[in-house]
Amino acid sequence: MRGGVAEVAGLEVGVFAVVRAMELLTILNQCHRFPGFVYQQAVFSADRRSIEVTVRPRKGSKAVCSGCQQPAPRYDHLAERRFEFIPIWGFLVFLLYRMRRVECPRCGVRVEAVPWGDGSISSPRRT
């Protein structure tokens, strides 16, 4: 008789997901700020297994050269990338960010350093 149970459950999951994504944005902005960057929006991925958070540089903030860790003028942008971040509530969290490249007076054209870290980009150590 009641055929709508599954639909209602689906709706609840949808609302839950939106609320959670908004909560996550608030939590990140309050507790996990990266100087020079802002969290723009958080959305659940299509399969609802992970949350994708769009990150943008704060207006007027300079990119930091990954070679010498000094601010440098912007050169251009790379394509948006996903960075694995800390898992929250059992969901994987990815940061989506278009890295900037800088034209560093010391190092030349380099990708910027990002505070959420990425082993392949921030100061590779070869011993």
List residues near Zn ion by CB under 5 A. 65, 67-68, 104, 106-107
CB of 46 to Zn ion, least distance (A): 39
Q: Where are the alpha helices (DSSP H) in 32-94?
A: none
For Zn ion, the closer of residues 36 and 67 by Cβ is: 67
CB of 115 to Zn ion, least distance (A): 16
What does the block give as tokens for 73?
């003028």
For Zn ion, the closer of residues 68 and 121 by Cβ is: 68
C-alpha 45 chain-centroid distance: 14
For Zn ion, the closer of residues 13 and 109 by Cβ is: 109
Closest by CA position to 24, among listed 46, 9, 40, 48? 40
Which residues of the chain form beta strands (DSSP E)? 37-44, 50-57, 63-64, 71-72, 74-84, 92-104, 108-111
CB of 125 to Zn ion, least distance (A): 17
For Zn ion, the closer of residues 25 and 65 by Cβ is: 65
